[in-house]
């Protein structure tokens, strides 16, 4: 069965410093992986997705993620945090097959300090 584990429930950075949000996955086959962001009182927005093409995936707003099969990781990074990046971030794996189910991690709250 597929699963994802977000290693930090809360990350705090200063504005202008790098962001690292960690995610490990478990999958019996080559997975499709996503990062979604949820701003306060807002819906979910897709940041980026990995679907077995390039292992370094670029997303919106300067975010990137690298798929590392040997480490079963899909960490999200950004070189320089902005105040508007403060939100909750979800690492997600597709269940595969045709059910369309997305399996969400527990979420990481990113705090950006001025």
Partner 1 sequence: EAQVTQNPRYLITVTGKKLTVTCSQNMNHEYMSWYRQDPGLGLRQIYYSMNVEVTDKGDVPEGYKVSRKEKRNFPLILESPSPNQTSLYFCASTLYPGQSSYEQYFGPGTRLTVT
Would you tell me which residues interact with partner 1 (CB under 8 A)?
9, 32, 36, 42-46, 49, 51, 90, 94, 97-102, 104-107
Task: Quote the least distance from Cβ 82 to partner 1, whole Å.
Answer: 23
Backbone dihedral angles phi then psi of residue 84, each to the nearest 5 degrees: -70, -5
Residue closer to partner 1 (CB basis): 19 or 37? 37
DSSP letters of 66-78? EEETTTTEEEEEE
Would you call 1 helix, strand, or coil by DSSP? coil
Residue closer to partner 1 (CB basis): 98 or 114? 98
Nearest to 8 by CA among 91, 80, 103, 113: 91
Residue closer to partner 1 (CB basis): 6 or 73? 6
Residue closer to partner 1 (CB basis): 22 or 104? 104
Would you call 84 helix, strand, or coil by DSSP? helix
Residue pair 111/9 in contact by the 8 Å Cβ criterion: no
């Amino acid at each position: 069965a597929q699963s994802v584990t977000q290693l930090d429930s809360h990350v705090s950075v200063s504005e202008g410093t790098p962001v690292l949000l960690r995610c490990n996955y478990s999958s019996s086959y080559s997975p499709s992986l996503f990062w979604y962001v949820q701003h306060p009182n807002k819906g979910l927005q897709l940041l980026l997705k990995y679907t077995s093409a390039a292992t370094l995936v670029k997303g919106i707003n300067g975010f990137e993620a690298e798929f590392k099969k040997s480490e079963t990781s899909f960490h999200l990074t950004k070189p320089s945090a902005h105040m508007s990046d403060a939100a909750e971030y979800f690492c997600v794996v597709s269940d595969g097959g045709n059910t369309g189910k997305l399996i969400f991690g527990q979420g990481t709250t990113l705090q950006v300090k001025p």
